[in-house]
Chain A
Amino acid sequence: MDIAAIDRSATRDDGFLRAAAPISKLVALALVLAAVLTSFNVLVLLGVFVGLVAMGLAGRLPMRLALTLAAYPALFAAVFAVASAPDPMTAAVIIMKAVCAALAAVTVVLSTPYPYIFAPIQRIVPGIVGDALLMTYRATFLLLGKFGSLLRAVRLRAGARGHAPVRTLRLSASAMGGLLLYSVDLAQRDYDVMRLRGYEGRLRTSPRRSRDRKADVLVIVAAVLALATAVLWRLGAETLNPYSWLVPIPAVMALAAVAVSRPRKDPA
């Protein structure tokens, strides 16, 4: 995973998502996460997912990258779902919850330089939690990059062989152990560098206001709609469930409209 691609997307000037104020996007993210936590209806979650994709496309985010990033938690959720879900529908709900939450977070990450994401968060959480969130964010992407290099090295050095799966597994496990040790070292170095450069547990940024108030309104309204739908379907499940298929339709229509109207070239 290329952290430069994330920074590049976050610092571009185009698209309404990048024009919205960071605080609006964080509020919208909280609302969407609340919707995802509230809903146990796979079609409602599908509507949220499609809506997020439509927003990302309309906001000129690199959607291939966004969906790839959102797929990582889906893999872990799938393992959990297979191990614990009593039926396929519950498994689908577990996976959709992970994907929607991740995609909402990725949408914010790809449209907002990370200091502007963490500065407001660190104002409201204890210092150690703020530190942990910030360092985890940075270390995650650096480690994903390192993990890619590690896999390449294992392959180049003949560590991965299709006809010797046990040996491949053993080597990969040992390489992962090395990566774990590296991650501890990396986290320490990263923290040291930030401390040397003046960081003391609270990231300070210059004010970053909205460049387009309509963008803020759109982001918040969409998130409120997602939460309202999730709450409505949760409270009135028995009555509304037969009509769940209606929920994704507006999102799909929005996606179709965006897909038709946007320029052909993918910004990724």
Chain B
Amino acid sequence: MTETVKHAHDDVVRVSCIRHSYEDGTSVHLCGLDFVARRGLRTALLGPNGSGKTTMLFHVLGLLRSREGSVRVFGVDPATEWASIRQRVGVVLQNVDEQLISPTVADDVAFSPRQYGLPAEEVDRRVTAALELLGITELADRVPHNLSGGEKRKVALAGALVMEPELLVLDEPFEGLDPAARQGLVELIERLARERGTSVVMTTHDIDAVHELADYAYVLKPGGEIALEGTPAEVFARAEDIARSNIRPPILAELFAQLQKLDPGAPEAEFSVHEAAEALIAWKASR
């Protein structure tokens, strides 16, 4: 972790060595390194299928209680004190169909503020602001079940953002989004973190995009061990460790690793197409 990142932000989430057993008798032991999400940072959780990413999120949300280790969100155990922190946490789960529970989009976005007893005018103001933030004002009167997958995800996100949460927990937020919607969401999350100081914890399979959607990343190995942490550049620089976690590195990381094998003078890996192109042009010019 870079020193700036390590010290400039408070811990919002800390998960230390928890174990979870599933009904079928299998278990994950989310141990190794502590998982820490800091204020105003976007923290990605990477790992192969079945490594326990969603299980860890469910512990963070207090939906599961660990038999050992500890989970702290805003300094409290979410499994026992969820009521004291829930207004500060926005959530979008992987299956958004199950998350949309009201008969219209506007009603759905208004669900949380109404449950928290906000006055009707305040509810309306927040709903309008959330719909505008996601650019889905025109969907307000639609029935959520009739929307496309991308639209449903935006509605779920509007519902999560309506309380202006300090912590946003997103399980595979980019699934089902077309490239334009995906880019819009990446920019929105970045803006929330930078402008509002919202902390973001997300799981994702979108390895190629991690460098642009996260400030910090953790990698789970099969079985749940938290094997790697660091900025995306730090994490993906450890190609062999990444491979041991059953994760395919970003395509640009693979390209630069291959170049360095063939020519030790090849440049260090860059993770955006623009930066990679510049590095390659500079390398070519230097030869």
Contacts and interface: CB of A to CB of B under 8 A. Distances in A.
A206 interface: yes
Interface residues of A, number: 28
A198 B104 contact: no
Contact of A200 (B107, B115, B146, B159): B115
Interface centre among A197, A198, A206 (most CB of B within 10 A): A197
Interface in B89-145: 89, 91, 93, 95, 98-99, 101-104, 107, 110-117, 120, 123, 141, 143-145
A204 B84 CA distance: 19
B188 to A, nearest CB: 20
B114 A205 contact: yes
A145 to B, nearest CB: 9
A3 B102 CA distance: 11
B115 A190 contact: no
A206 B98 contact: no
B101 A138 contact: yes
A198 B111 contact: yes
Contacts of B114: 198, 204-206
Describe A's contact surface by its main secondary structure: helix
Interface centre among B87, B110, B145, B159 (most CB of A within 10 A): B145
B61 interface: yes
Interface stretch (A7-15, A152-160, A170-178): A7-15
Contact of B99 (A2, A193, A200): A193
A206 B103 contact: no
A196 B86 CA distance: 7
Contacts of A10: 103
A135 to B, nearest CB: 11
Contact of B146 (A4, A192, A197, A205): A4
Interface string B4-42: 000000000000000000000000000000000000000
B112 A115 contact: no
A147 interface: no
B63 interface: yes
A121 B141 CA distance: 25
A193 B93 contact: yes
A192 B64 CA distance: 10
Given A113-B107, A196-B86, A8 B143 contact: yes
B123 A206 contact: yes
A3 to B, nearest CB: 6
A11 B86 contact: no
Given A4-B145, A207-B120, A197 B103 contact: no
Nearest to B163: A198
Contacts of A8: 143, 146
Interface in B143-193: 143-146, 159
Interface centre among A11, A195, A198, A207 (most CB of B within 10 A): A198
The 4 closest A-B pairs by CB, nearest first: A198-B115, A4-B145, A7-B103, A113-B103
8 contacts: A138-B101, A190-B98, A192-B63, A193-B99, A196-B61, A197-B101, A198-B115, A206-B123
Given A189-B98, A192-B63, A199-B115, 11 more contacts: A3-B145, A11-B104, A113-B102, A113-B104, A115-B103, A193-B99, A196-B91, A198-B112, A200-B115, A206-B110, A206-B114
